[in-house]
A and B are shown apart, each in its own frame.
Chain A
Amino acid sequence: MRLQSIIAMVASALLVALTMANTSLAGPPDEPRIVDMPALGKTVGKRGGTLRMLMAKPKDIRMMVIYSGARLVSYNENFKLAPDILKSVDVEENRIFTLRIRKGHKWSDGAPFTSEDFRYYWEDVANNKELARGGLSNKLLVEGKGPKFEVIDELTVRYTWEQPNPLFLTVLAGARPLYIYKPAHYMKQFHVKYQDKAKLDQMVIDNKVQKWSSLHVRKGRQYRPENPEMPTLQPWMNTTNPPSERFIFKRNPYFHRVDNEGNQLPYIGEVYVTMSTSAIIPAKTGGGESDLQARYLRFDNYAFLKKAAKTRGYEVYLWRNGRGSQMTILPNMNVADPVWRKVMQDVRVRRAMSLGIDRSEINEAIYFGLAREVGNSVLPSSPLYKEEYAEAWAQFDVDLANELLDEAGLDKRSSDDVRLLPDGREMKITVETAGESTEETDVLQLITEHWAALGIQLFTRPTQRDILRRRISNGDTIMSVWFGLNRGLATPDMDPEELAPVSPLQGTWPKWGQYYETKGVAGEKITLPKVQKLSDLYSQWRMAVSVEKQTEIWDQMLSIFTDQVYTIGIVSSTKQPIVVNKNLRNVPMDGIYAFEPTAYFGQYLPDTFWFDN
């Protein structure tokens, strides 16, 4: 043990000496982030090897950024925020944030990463009229005001708000983070302020775009690493120009993490991301064509994957799904049809619909009895979990449901035993789905039968995700199917935005969400007091300074949200199959598969995965 630490010290000292001697030499920053492998239950690995993954759409290469998990600050294993790319963050009164960069940290092309990169983003991108036409991101505004930005020195920047902004670090750590820096040395060539006008015009023509701003956006995408020339701070950098069947990501020689023995991460040298189609991916994975795969694998693929696992040399793990609910039905309270709108806004109707679903049959038939039969709420591993939230109106009680519907004035029935709306139409609901899997349509078919006992006729209409998104934001749907809460593992400092109307993409209240997002320009004002309460609580959370206050607000919001059944959750804690090459080490057998806060694999540090062969 002692010998090891001496070696580690010598090694890091040697590294520091080397970097000081020759700054162009590849390597981690002088003050790297040391990942203590034994403490995380991981093993120190060997460098090298190629990781193969399968993806379906060109824009899926953003998964590399999500999986990589390198953020300015990131969630540690206990879901607490800790500096990652940054050396440290000092927070005063939840409103003054001082960000310190690691000494000697370099972009993947070897250029130094300094406060200039933050200044460039702030002055020349975020506050440039042509590049940021909508103004600052909503997340950077507190009561409509942005922060004051200062460069303290070459490695230190400071953001100061007048009011507390507890969201700031959370959005920097997001699976889709807010980028507040850009590689200035690279991006300046596309910026009108730094580039010769004639040369820039020529580049605009060469790249077949309209304006220099589009060129700047296109060349500088950080969330979707399409541009191989763009320097990055992620563990792997893209080397392939789209469109391509296969994207080759190579190790970033300047990545900022090292293991406890001083080896620079990532262990794996290359990542091949091969494009396929979503329906074929389970088959290809079963054929051993992927070393690490979770996306596009469904629970019902498990039996097949397990069958081929031995001969094809991979393991199948079952991770827990981190969403608040596997799928939810969203009654649209802002639907254009005034009669339906009134019906959907009636809490008794929503409760009855939830009570009328036989969740145990769905669980048994589709999820092998492994899921939890609860509504859409946070999961038991979340510190905010309370049984009453999960089980609110989630029991199966047809009599109570019918009683509630009768009470709500829907007591007349047609000759086919279908309830009549107040204006005499039959209660026929078209529920729209993204039509991506038979899972959704199967569940809906079961619900169709369950709801027939309530006198509600259900029709399923599969469309496509993008079309559904558009129909939702136009308020065209009566009901739609979406995922449950993304932040099923919420901690008090995570953004409770999903519980309040904030965006037109929320199928329950698209118009109210739009009103909030556009600051009252479009959409409609909230008319229900309970929803107004949620909206007010959300504003209060945005101003909250202490964890106690945040917890209290989360509690109140969850209580209203689940009691009012704004979303009808079906089951939660379903299992996600993860296929892992049997030689790939450090991938946990049990994990949580979610976009946020774990960024799918990001939480489990894919840069520490290594091949043992």
Chain B
Amino acid sequence: MSALPPENTDKLPHYVSKEPFDMQSIEKLTPEQEKIYFASQLTLMWWKFRQHRVAVWSGVFLAVLYLSIFFSEFLSPYDMTKRNVKHIYAPPQAVHLFHEGEFIGPFTYPYKVTRNMETLQREFAVNTKKPQKLRFFCRGDKYKWFGYVKSDLHLVCPPKKGSFYLLGTDRLGRDMLSRIIAGARISLTIGLIGITVSFVLGIVIGGLAGYYGGWVDMIVQRMIEVLQSIPSIPLWLTLSALMPATWSPIFVYFGITIILGLLDWTGLARAVRSKLLSLREEDYVLAARLIGASPSRIIGRHLVPGFMSHLIASATITIPVMILGETALSFLGLGLRPPVTSWGVLLNEAQDINVVAVYPWLMLPVVPVIFVIIAFNFLGDGLRDAADPYK
């Protein structure tokens, strides 16, 4: 700090010379060298990222998933709330292509339901005499796309007078596949909204603490300590109890994302602060200050890019934490509640010995949770390596 000019003297305006600057005035580069040395940081990152095969595939996988949430209703064969009292606890239904040695395209065999009065279970017998063809780009259950556009177009529909339960049905006869697809919309976005809140808070508060130090830092640190010392589960409990029951489930959903974001920024703020504390002593920061750059410009333009890799890594790790957070909250019955459907809500309904022993297909929502989290971790790994392309 002693190297900086005194604060209360008259400041010179921020000055950058407008003279043209020829970088090659001393040493001329070959076109190949030029391609590498003059490549923008983004290009370099992309080159580096491409080499990490698993990360690329994870990225593609996530992109497809995120794209799918725009067309959830179209992709799912049934409406997610459609109940079929006749097909309660139907096990997953296979899709066949060949009937008695003859190719007739994707079809299912109908289920015949009988009630076993001894075990009090519904028994599903497959009638292999009557193949029922699936329909594609067809008219099925009506829905309102994003609550506005009315439609009934589906990618695939159950056969007429038949059923298509690729992942089985639950205790009210609702199609699990449709519910998992619908749940993705909530579960995948809850991470993004939460992380935006937590990043904005983390970078701004951590940045201020790290850049200014002194009493600002002191207050921020104590605030973080207080926040971190509050046990999270009871806090969640209270906050979710505060949300009135008459709120529409979507408001509750936003409330929960914001709660997750508001509680999560502390770790990031600490990381930003400590990074800034060391970076602000660097010569290029001093240079920026000497030419009169404002604190927000120094933090935003010179300091934050300096630990971008750290931010990216922490973002890609935090998103799955958020997804898990929502899943855990809903699993405990504190988060989202039916009729909102998320993977956590689905898993909450599956936390029962009956499911484990008798209806194991109800645990399938755990599969997308695992894949998404692994994909995010690989993607984060690749991005972190790529964010420091000069290494």
B354 near A303 (CB under 8 angstroms)? Answer: yes
B353 near A445 (CB under 8 angstroms)? Answer: no
The 5 nearest A-B residue pairs measured at CB: A461-B245, A283-B353, A304-B357, A304-B354, A303-B121
B171 near A307 (CB under 8 angstroms)? Answer: no
* CB-contacts of A307-352 with B (<8 A): 307-308
In the bound complex, what is the Cα–Cα distance between A578 and B83 (angstroms)? 30
Asked whether A435 and B354 contact (CB < 8 A) given A302-B120, A428-B246, the answer is no
B213 at the interface (CB under 8 A from A): no
Find chain B residues with CB under 8 A from A462 CB. Answer: 333, 337
A497 at the interface (CB under 8 A from B): no
* CB-contacts of A117-149 with B (<8 A): none
Find chain A residues with CB under 8 A from B338 CB. Answer: 441, 445
Asked whether A303 and B120 contact (CB < 8 A) given A283-B353, A286-B357, A365-B173, the answer is yes
B349 at the interface (CB under 8 A from A): yes
Asked whether A365 and B88 contact (CB < 8 A) given A302-B120, A445-B172, the answer is yes
Q: Which of A283, A304, A432, A442 gathers most chain B CB within 10 Å? A: A304
In the bound complex, what is the Cα–Cα distance between A445 and B119 (angstroms)? 26
12 contacts between A and B (CB under 8 A): A286-B357, A304-B353, A304-B358, A307-B357, A361-B85, A366-B171, A369-B115, A370-B120, A441-B338, A442-B172, A446-B83, A461-B245
Task: Mark each residue of chain B from 316 to 354: 1 if its CB lies under 8 Å from any CB of chain A, else 0.
Answer: 000000000000000001000111000000000101111
In the bound complex, what is the Cα–Cα distance between A279 and B121 (angstroms)? 21
Find chain B residues with CB under 8 A from A432 CB. Answer: 245
A364 near B120 (CB under 8 angstroms)? Answer: no
Chain A residues touching B, range: 20 to 34
Find chain A residues with CB under 8 A from B245 CB. Answer: 430, 432, 459-461
Asked whether A307 and B358 contact (CB < 8 A) given A283-B353, A435-B333, A438-B349, the answer is yes
In the bound complex, what is the Cα–Cα distance between A459 and B249 (angstroms)? 10
Q: Please give the distance in Å from A460's CB to the nearest CB on chain B.
A: 8
CB-nearest residue of chain B to A463: B241
A282 near B358 (CB under 8 angstroms)? Answer: no
A308 near B357 (CB under 8 angstroms)? Answer: yes
In the bound complex, what is the Cα–Cα distance between A286 and B173 (angstroms)? 25
Find chain A residues with CB under 8 A from B354 CB. Answer: 282, 300-301, 303-304
* CB-contacts of A426-473 with B (<8 A): 428, 430, 432, 435, 438, 441-442, 445-446, 459-462
* CB-contacts of B169-206 with A (<8 A): 171-173
A442 near B119 (CB under 8 angstroms)? Answer: no
Find chain A residues with CB under 8 A from B358 CB. Answer: 303-304, 307
In the bound complex, what is the Cα–Cα distance between A483 and B339 (angstroms)? 24
Interchain CB contact (< 8 A) of B119 among A283, A306, A438: A306
A365 near B83 (CB under 8 angstroms)? Answer: yes
Interchain CB contact (< 8 A) of A430 among B120, B171, B246, B337: B246
Find chain A residues with CB under 8 A from B172 CB. Answer: 365, 442, 445-446
In the bound complex, what is the Cα–Cα distance between A22 and B352 (angstroms)? 56
6 A-B pairs besides A304-B358, A459-B245 with CB distance below 8 A are A301-B353, A301-B354, A303-B121, A365-B173, A460-B245, A462-B337
A368 at the interface (CB under 8 A from B): yes
With an 8 Å Cβ cutoff, the count of chain B residues facing the other chain is: 24
Q: Please give the distance in Å from A194's CB to the nearest CB on chain B.
A: 46
Find chain B residues with CB under 8 A from A304 CB. Answer: 353-354, 357-358
In the bound complex, what is the Cα–Cα distance between A60 and B53 (angstroms)? 58
In the bound complex, what is the Cα–Cα distance between A428 and B118 (angstroms)? 42
Find chain B residues with CB under 8 A from A441 CB. Answer: 338
* CB-contacts of A345-401 with B (<8 A): 361, 364-366, 368-370
Find chain B residues with CB under 8 A from A364 CB. Answer: 85
Q: Please give the distance in Å from B120's CB to the nearest CB on chain A.
A: 5
Residues of chain A having any CB pair with chain B under 8 Å: 279, 282-283, 286, 300-304, 306-308, 361, 364-366, 368-370, 428, 430, 432, 435, 438, 441-442, 445-446, 459-462
B120 near A306 (CB under 8 angstroms)? Answer: yes
In the bound complex, what is the Cα–Cα distance between A369 and B122 (angstroms)? 11
CB-nearest residue of chain A to B119: A306
Find chain B residues with CB under 8 A from A460 CB. Answer: 245, 337
In the bound complex, what is the Cα–Cα distance between A172 and B85 (angstroms)? 46
Find chain A residues with CB under 8 A from B115 CB. Answer: 368-369
Find chain B residues with CB under 8 A from A361 CB. Answer: 85
A459 near B119 (CB under 8 angstroms)? Answer: no
Find chain A residues with CB under 8 A from B333 CB. Answer: 435, 462
A368 near B85 (CB under 8 angstroms)? Answer: no
CB-nearest residue of chain A to B355: A304
Q: Please give the distance in Å from A463's CB to the nearest CB on chain B.
A: 8
CB-nearest residue of chain A to B245: A461
In the bound complex, what is the Cα–Cα distance between A302 and B246 (angstroms)? 35
Find chain B residues with CB under 8 A from A307 CB. Answer: 119, 357-358
In the bound complex, what is the Cα–Cα distance between A169 and B351 (angstroms)? 45
* CB-contacts of B210-233 with A (<8 A): none
In the bound complex, what is the Cα–Cα distance between A461 and B244 (angstroms)? 9
B85 near A442 (CB under 8 angstroms)? Answer: no
Q: Please give the distance in Å from B180's CB to the nearest CB on chain A.
A: 19
Q: Which of B83, B338, B353 gathers most chain A CB within 10 Å? A: B353
Q: Please give the distance in Å from A420's CB to the nearest CB on chain B.
A: 16
Q: Please give the distance in Å from A558's CB to the nearest CB on chain B.
A: 32
Asked whether A300 and B171 contact (CB < 8 A) given A365-B85, A430-B245, the answer is yes
Q: Please give the distance in Å from A101's CB to the nearest CB on chain B.
A: 48
Find chain B residues with CB under 8 A from A428 CB. Answer: 246
CB-nearest residue of chain A to B121: A303
CB-nearest residue of chain A to B122: A368
Find chain B residues with CB under 8 A from A279 CB. Answer: 351-352
B120 near A368 (CB under 8 angstroms)? Answer: yes
Find chain B residues with CB under 8 A from A438 CB. Answer: 171, 349, 352
A286 near B353 (CB under 8 angstroms)? Answer: yes
Q: Please give the distance in Å from B379's CB to the nearest CB on chain A.
A: 36
Q: Please give the distance in Å from A472's CB to the nearest CB on chain B.
A: 16
Find chain A residues with CB under 8 A from B121 CB. Answer: 303
CB-nearest residue of chain B to A370: B120
Task: Mark each residue of chain B from 356 to 391: 1 if its CB lies under 8 Å from any CB of chain A, else 0.
Answer: 011000000000000000000000000000000000
Q: Please give the distance in Å from B172's CB to the nearest CB on chain A.
A: 6
CB-nearest residue of chain A to B339: A445
Find chain B residues with CB under 8 A from A365 CB. Answer: 83, 85, 88, 171-173
In the bound complex, what is the Cα–Cα distance between A461 and B243 (angstroms)? 11
Q: Please give the distance in Å from B154's CB to the nearest CB on chain A.
A: 22
Q: Please give the distance in Å from B51's CB to the nearest CB on chain A.
A: 48
In the bound complex, what is the Cα–Cα distance between A523 and B334 (angstroms)? 34
CB-nearest residue of chain B to A438: B349
B353 near A282 (CB under 8 angstroms)? Answer: yes
Find chain B residues with CB under 8 A from A300 CB. Answer: 171, 354
CB-nearest residue of chain A to B247: A459
Find chain B residues with CB under 8 A from A459 CB. Answer: 245-246
Q: Please give the distance in Å from A298's CB to the nearest CB on chain B.
A: 9
Task: Mark each residue of chain B from 278 to 313: 1 if its CB lies under 8 Å from any CB of chain A, else 0.
Answer: 000000000000000000000000000000000000
B353 near A442 (CB under 8 angstroms)? Answer: no
In the bound complex, what is the Cα–Cα distance between A460 and B333 (angstroms)? 13
Q: Please give the distance in Å from B255's CB to the nearest CB on chain A.
A: 15
Find chain A residues with CB under 8 A from B85 CB. Answer: 361, 364-365
Q: Please give the distance in Å from A370's CB to the nearest CB on chain B.
A: 8
Find chain A residues with CB under 8 A from B353 CB. Answer: 282-283, 286, 301, 304
CB-nearest residue of chain A to B248: A459
CB-nearest residue of chain B to A300: B354
CB-nearest residue of chain B to A439: B171
Q: Which of B83, B119, B349 gathers most chain A CB within 10 Å? A: B119
In the bound complex, what is the Cα–Cα distance between A301 and B357 (angstroms)? 10
Find chain B residues with CB under 8 A from A282 CB. Answer: 353-354
CB-nearest residue of chain B to A426: B246
In the bound complex, what is the Cα–Cα distance between A279 and B351 (angstroms)? 9
Q: Please give the distance in Å from A299's CB to the nearest CB on chain B.
A: 8
Task: Mark each residue of chain B from 250 to 288: 1 if its CB lies under 8 Å from any CB of chain A, else 0.
Answer: 000000000000000000000000000000000000000
In the bound complex, what is the Cα–Cα distance between A8 and B83 (angstroms)? 63
Q: Please give the distance in Å from B359's CB to the nearest CB on chain A.
A: 9
